[in-house]
Amino acid sequence: MQPHIQAFFDPATSTASYLVSDPATGAAAIIDPVLDFEPRSARLSTDSAEAILQAVREQDLHLAYVLETHAHADHLSAADHIRRATGAEVVIGARITEVQAQFAPLFEVENVQPDGGDFDRLVREGDTLPLGDLSIGVLHTPGHTPACVTYTLGDTAFVGDTLFMPDYGTARADFPGGDATALYRSIRKVLALPPETRLFVGHDYLPAGRTEARWETTVAEERAHNIHVHEGVAEAAFVTMRQTRDATLAPPTLILPSLQVNIRAGALPPASPGGHVYLRLPVTLA
């Protein structure tokens, strides 16, 4: 039996989140949920997460997990909000500890558990998670970040920011801990899955010539048509392309608010004595 998959696309951050479930038992997981944040007003809302939770309720699903493919730098995670609302476990790759070690000192984030204890489960290559009568597999796919993982379920794989739609290409690898060579090898691991495997990406940044967001492709389509890493593209050529391209990219708009929240599984900092919640903005002096 194959999983039932519902996608929820957030235009503000070009993020695709997913609700996956076992049709036989109703066991479900949410992948990469978004906490809405408007940076000019610093306004937070849970509208995107609540839309997914509404689908959970309407379909009488039993939410077991919030699966994070990595610690995102382009949106705040709603994982903690969903955990508090439902009791679902928050799951992420075990090398999140390296990402925490890199960024917790930068933001002087309080109460980060350096062993990854802000998350409920840390997973590694080859681990499995039961989802009703189905089983979620884990591939370690670093490169974009050290902690990136791909979740497999039936004939599907959720690749996060490792790979994008064929006409957009691949993710950047220039964040601290990122590595273009590791990214190439991770992509090859994903593309070694059966050709008919359906791939669900973490973002769709509309390339020139396309006006509708897409988030589902296949291994066969990526092998044949991915503009960065189709069959025949050698590792050295990919690494040169990726490093050259990354040198031209500005940081994501929400990188500073996102990382200090996402390394804590989406939990906001504790409120001040006055009852206010503050995110920190480290200033670099030129």
Q: What is the pLDDT of residue 67?
A: 98
Q: What is the pLDDT of residue 285?
A: 79
**Global confidence as pTM:** 0.95
CATH architecture assignment, domain 4-250: 4-Layer Sandwich (3.60)
Q: Are 145 and 171 in contact (CB under 8 A)?
A: no
Q: Smallest Cα–Cα separation from 177: which of 153, 205, 142? A: 142
Rounded mean pLDDT for each run of 10 residues along the chain, 286 residues in total: 95 97 98 96 96 98 98 97 98 96 81 79 98 98 97 97 97 95 98 98 92 96 98 98 97 94 94 90 83
Q: Which ranges in the chain belong to alpha helices (H)?
A: 47-58, 79-86, 96-107, 180-190, 219-225, 235-246, 255-262
CA distance 255 to 176: 12
